[in-house]
Structure 1
């Protein structure tokens, strides 16, 4: 990003349920990029017939989740009654608001077969006035997501806005999450379309910025979004994400996000006590749940 790389974050391995993922955000030196608070890179993994993704019912408050798959399938269920399979190129968008419970599992028809799983799971903070809003859910087929090509570069606007193009995903603040693909070396100058803070995640291939090559499993944070320019080194897939940061600090405990720690404490208490008014059960997936972990605040 044209002498503009302020921070390089290496992907680090963590576990969710019985699945190993690469965690990109949050990081000690950088807690958020614009409204983006959390990014997990799932896979790529080949799961055998006895291996499945099983993340039992767990709660969220104060954020929206975005699930985007490159390969495989995940079945989403939530306490609002939604039950839907997400496949590659589709977008699941769930706004937790004051509280929601969901589970993520391998679909039934794949549970006794070999399968692949690869994708991104992202948390995006909510504006302060919406942190306690009613939960909501949207699903978008891949044909609904804007895709265009310019000068040998293919763009896909998964969420948010770039100039006069807008994704149908109902985001709650100014942001962008865009996929960029090239089949050969290309120069990309996109800074005039960006705003706020910007991060770059190179999924495969590599990019050259100020005569330095950066490869996959690295998250690059720009110092100035308006200077975002780079060159891809051949066949490359990368993601740019970011937007306007919030004025207030966001605190995070486990799956709970809020600008008010007292609300986090109440959410912890409600989940530990299985308060069904705050966190209803999921239809057809109500036999287990992920218990509240015990560590202190991350902030």
Structure 2
């Protein structure tokens, strides 16, 4: 019997002037461990007149993780952060009770051809931190644990695994791991993982119990401890997972919380542009993403 419990096909989602491949949430699987939302961005070829422009928009009750493979994004938020993220680095923003941020192509790239490729991820917060003050941290690529075993390269982007710990300041037990091969290789790492686990194949293929899987799919493991697979040559996979929360997490638009009343209040505050709840973003306050009218009264 296969250890694959569910296969989620990447589906296209529009985030304004940019299409992404949405992996989570899925109607049959709302979260993997504390991961409640995963978008695969690109790879996209952007012309000199095309740019990523996601105006200021709000979040509550979650942490965002941005990890780029190609390109560059300039992040600004209502805490006062203003940081360019490049491939291999990590932006980690914890919304807590409420934060606003924007994501745009940096000014120096706005009139040149460029590529953009990476992951945008939301991680739910433990219940006791859902109303915490917002925070932001930027971790450079050379700060992440990277090692090689038997010709396989591992990178621990966030969380804990393999008796190692990423400097990304996560708030619960989780892992986000990159694995790369040059030659075909059998991988057996279940002993290092915990909770729930999902795999995304970026390049190459993986063989699991005589079944071959390629890109555009999120593979959900039935048993994390039985995480064993064969990777083809020049393959890259990502593992997401960790300990799930006891309480259900509700998602409405950009808001995540275990308490629906907090989400309903956030809808009202953003719709009314209550800057006590959602402060302006310094350096990017002339525009914002309006609350979709379709969700204002949705329960």
Pairwise TM-score range, normalised by the shorter structure: over 0.9
Contact 2:63 2:92 in 1 (8 A): yes
Instruction: Give 1:180 shift.
Output: 0.3
- Deviation digits for residues 13-57 of structure 1 (CA, Å, limit 9, x no counterpart): 011121000000000110000000000011001100000000000
Match of 1:84 in 2: 83
SS of aligned partner of 1:295: helix
Displacement of 1:204 = 1.1
Partner of 1:246: 245
2:183 paired residue number: 184
Structure 2 gaps, min length 5: none
| Contact kept? 1:126, 1:172, Cα under 8 Å | yes
User: What SS does the aligned partner of 1:216 have?
Assistant: coil
Structure 1: gaps (5+ residues): none
Judge conservation of contact 2:163–2:192 (CA < 8 Å) in 1: no
Q: CA deviation at 1:298?
A: 8.9
TM-score, structure 1 normalization: 0.98
33 and 298 in structure 1: CA distance in 2 versus 1, 3 angstrom threshold: farther
Tell me if the contact between 1:252 and 1:298 (Cα under 8 Å) persists in the aligned partners. Answer: no
The aligned runs of 1:37-116 (5 Å cut-off) are 37-116=36-115
Q: Are 1:42 and 1:120, in contact at CA under 8 Å, matched by a contact in 2?
A: yes
Match of 1:165? 164
Cα distance in structure 1, aligned partners of 2:20 and 2:298: 19
- Pairs within 5 Å for 1:10-49: 10-49=9-48
Residue 237 of structure 1: how far off its partner (Å): 0.5
**TM-score under structure 2 normalisation?**
0.98
SS of corresponding position for 1:41: strand
Give the drift of 1:3.
1.9
Does 1:143 find its partner at 2:134? no
> C-alpha distance in 2, partners of 1:266/1:230?
45
Match of 1:211 in 2: 210
Secondary structure of residue in 1 paired with 2:263: helix
- Count of aligned residue pairs for this structure pair: 298
List, as ranges, runs of 4+ consecutive aligned residues in structure 1 with deviation greater than 2 Å. 294-299
Aligned pairs for 1:223-234 within 5 A: 223-234=222-233
Deviation at 1:163, TM superposition (A): 3.6
Cα RMSD after superposing both structures: 1.2
Match of 1:128 in 2: 127
Aligned mates of 1:245, 1:178 — CA distance in 2: 17
Q: Decide whether the 8 Å contact of 1:251 with 1:298 is kept in 2.
A: no
CA shift in 2, pair 1:298/1:158, >3 Å? farther
What CA deviation, in whole Å up to 9, does each residue of 1:54-75 have, x standing for no partner? 0000000000000000000000
Name the CA distance, whole Å, in 2 between partners of 1:61 and 1:116: 30
| CA 298–125 in structure 1, closer or farther in 2 if over 3 Å, else same | farther
User: Residue 294 of structure 1: CA displacement?
Assistant: 2.9
Deviations 1:149-175 (A, max 9, x none): 011110000000014200000000000
Secondary structure in 1 matching 2:142: helix
Shift of 1:143: 0.4
- Residue pair 1:69, 1:120 contacting (<8 A) in 2 also: yes
Q: How far is the alpha carbon of 1:233 from its aligned partner?
A: 1.4
